[in-house]
Amino acid sequence: MTTKVWAIRAAEVDRGGSAVSSQELSKYLNREYVEMREAILEYLKHDLFKPKYDLSFYEFRDLTQERLKHLAKGNFISCFDHINNPGRFFAGMEALTYVDYSITIKCGVHYTLAGGAIALLGTRKHHNKYLPLLDSGKLPGCFAMTELGHGSNVMGIETTAVYDHARKSFVLNTGSDLASKVWIGGASQYGRLCTVFAQLTVGGDYKGVHVFVMRIRDDEGKLCKGVRIEEMGHKMGMNGVDNGRIWFNNVVLDRDSLLDRYASIDEQGIYHSPIKSIPARFGAMVGALSTGRVCIAQSAVDACKLGLTIACRYSSDRPQFGKRKIGSYLTHKRRLAPGVAQTYALHLIMIQLKGLVNDRHDPKKIHNLSSGLKAAATWTRVDVLQKCRECCGGMGLLSENQIGGMIVDMNVDVTFEGDNTVLMQQVVKGILTKGITKPEPIQVRNYSTEELLQALKYREDVLKYRLLQLGDLDANQDTCVDLGWAYADYLTAENFFKEVQRAPPALRDTLEELAVLFALEKMERNAVFYVCDGVIDADGLEKLRQRVNDQCNVVSGADGEHLNILCEGFGIPEHLITAPIAKGWRDFHTSPEIGAKM
């Protein structure tokens, strides 16, 4: 069997008098923590990270656990970076999506959730005791927040922790099956350490939700006293993660088990917290854990990069109806080019978000932006990967071609780390301010950069004003979600056009073409709003459709070959683009064993 080598790296293509290099694009996009990024991508060449598609349920879990252990040996990811250098932590996590989403989430649970909770909600005694063991992979961690009866409503959880001053300990209980912790990644088989959310009572006084760190298994893997765990079962995807359900029955935890950055209990049994309000204290605790949403959003963007790389290569190589490549058809360009533009746009604003987290200067802005972008990025991933799958026809169904596996494995990202619909409503509560005046009407005629940004901002402002006039957010939740999207769309577009101006001169034309397509597609997607509000008329709507078509043609090139250059700019190394159809459309089996079985 022969395999065509895709000789496109560092290629240049003429774009209206200017040339763009995929290497220069990659250098610009991947400009942070370059050495670490290159080192971890090289580390992922190990045979352990090569795809395997014929494993049993438990074999896949064992492989995922071995992958985590091997990553720990590389010392790329450290829970201490939550405190010292969040940007480095993000860089260590990002490449994993190209391998498999199970290892991404396995590491996310271990390092981001369990480790992050201890790092950001605990104090030095917790850091010194647990973080080195988590970093080394010797103490597998999990994170128990979600309950059977409470998903998004974390303040309503029913697991209880009662402080017993006579024993200077907490007694943890699951009051009913509704209070059992569910979908806890790592709990079913391998987890030994767990961070647990519970309602705290001290001296008969209710103190609200707090977080505790505890062992659920001993060093031999035996369940600790009072802990019961059951298997959640086979899932539609992401079966490398061992999700479990946990009950606690009079589990005794020592006083130091309370993660006490925001609240503590002294030797006399007196409760102390610098934040007196229970809701405000809860907000500070969960707000400190925004790292998880950032990682989920970035993984969604990275999945788009991989899916688009495969689909664009296949489309520009696959002939149909003679020698004409399927990537030359407008309908193909319409499905792929906007996805490339969206992925560039989201990648660039994620750099801004990670910078905010690294600086820690504006917690409210971090919460609003991370919530909005997590929802926007994961919903975009759903749309982009489905179009990539369709653009590859039947070949997109093969597990070896990577896209289908990402679709089912990552489907959960729209509801975990915050249900997207709920997150968008949280964003609205964070950005609505009194005193907003009714925006002055605008009209878009030429679809210039200025008009595009003005139109996206106008939609956000009108929806803000409309919601303030309506008053009852619960009765207008659909408009809340629309406003959350409008907020994310405008900030992403605004940032993209700013990036165009900051970019090296040789890249500006290319990036501007993508930024324009991003904004045009957002306007077209919300055309009903713009027509109803008089921003465009019927003729303008037709002009918008044609502008999107023209921009897709410009960005794609004749056969879609320009899209390959843009996807090369993502900087995904060839050893992680394992899909056979990304190497040559005729070859769709790289594994003789799988080929023989089929």
CA nearest neighbour of 510 among 557, 463, 547, 477: 557
Asked whether the domain spanning 420-559 has the same topology as the one spanning 143-281, the reply is no
435 is in an annotated binding site: no
Distance CA 262, CA 151 (A): 23
- Separation of alpha carbons 323 and 325, rounded Å: 6
How far is residue 583's CA from residue 563's CA, in Å, rounded to a whole number?
Answer: 15
β-strands 141-144, 181-185: how paired?
unpaired
Query: SS3 for 214?
Result: strand
490 burial via Cβ count (<10 Å: 0-12, 13-18, 19+): buried
Alpha-carbon distance of 248 to 226, in angstroms, equals: 6
* C-alpha span between 267 and 504 (Å, rounded): 60
**Looking at residue 9, what is its pLDDT?**
38
Fold topology of 143-281: Butyryl-CoA Dehydrogenase, subunit A; domain 2 (2.40.110)
Let me know how long the chain is: 598
pTM (predicted TM-score):
0.93
Q: Which of 429, 582, 425, 565 is nearest to 8 (CA)?
A: 565
- Tokens 């450290």 correspond to 78
Residue of 589, 577, 578, 573 lying closest to 9 (CA atoms): 573
* Grouped pLDDT means (10 residues each) for the chain, 598 residues: 36 50 94 93 96 94 97 94 91 92 95 94 97 96 94 90 95 96 96 97 95 97 97 96 97 96 94 94 86 94 98 90 90 96 98 90 87 97 98 93 95 92 92 84 92 96 93 89 96 97 95 97 96 92 94 92 95 95 74 49
Nearest-angstrom CA–CA distance, 520 and 235: 38
3-state secondary structure of 439: coil
What is the domain partition of the chain in residue ranges? 143-281, 420-559
- Do 95 and 109 form a contact (C-beta atoms < 8 A)? no
> Strands (DSSP E) along 186-270, which ranges?
193-202, 205-215, 227-231, 243-248, 251-254, 264-265
Q: What residues have CB less than 8 Å from 174, skipping those under 6 apart?
A: 158, 159, 180, 181, 246, 247, 248, 249
Q: What is the CATH number of domain 420-559?
A: 1.20.140
Closest CA to 496 of 510, 486, 480: 510
CB 558 within 8 A of CB 15: no
Contacts of 130 (CB under 8 A, 6+ apart): 118, 122, 139, 193, 213
From residue 416, how far is each of 23, 379, 517 by CA, in Å? 35, 12, 30
Residue 352 CB neighbour total at 10 angstroms: 15
| Rounded Cα distance, 216 and 200, in Å | 19
Quote the Cα angle for 2-406-558, to 5°: 60
Instruction: Count the alpha carbons within 13 Å of 267 in the hemisphere toward its beta carbon.
Output: 0
Type and span of the H or E element at 519: helix 505-525
CB atoms within 10 A of CB 362: 11
**Predicted local confidence at residue 437, as pLDDT:** 87
221 is in an annotated binding site: no
417 is catalytic: yes
| Given the residues 24, 158, 417, 513, the one annotated as active site | 417
| pLDDT given at position 417 | 85
* Element (DSSP H or E) covering residue 163: strand 160-164
pLDDT, residue 8, reads 39
d(CA 338, CA 521): 7
Q: Are 195 and 260 in contact (CB under 8 A)?
A: no
Query: Cβ distance 356 to 362 under 8 Å?
Result: yes
Helix/strand/coil for 113: helix
Q: Where are the alpha helices (DSSP H) in 238-324?
A: 278-287, 291-317
Which among 82, 89, 263, 74 has a CA at the least distance from the CA of 161?
263
Cα separation, 409 vs 378, whole angstroms: 12
Q: How many CB atoms lie within 10 A of CB 311?
A: 34
Answer yes or no: are the C-beta atoms of 188 and 232 closer than 8 Å.
yes
Instruction: Please give the C-alpha separations between residue 193 and each of 109, 115, 137, 189, 224, in angstroms, as whole numbers.
Output: 11, 10, 11, 12, 11
* Count of Cβ atoms closer than 10 Å to residue 545 Cβ: 13
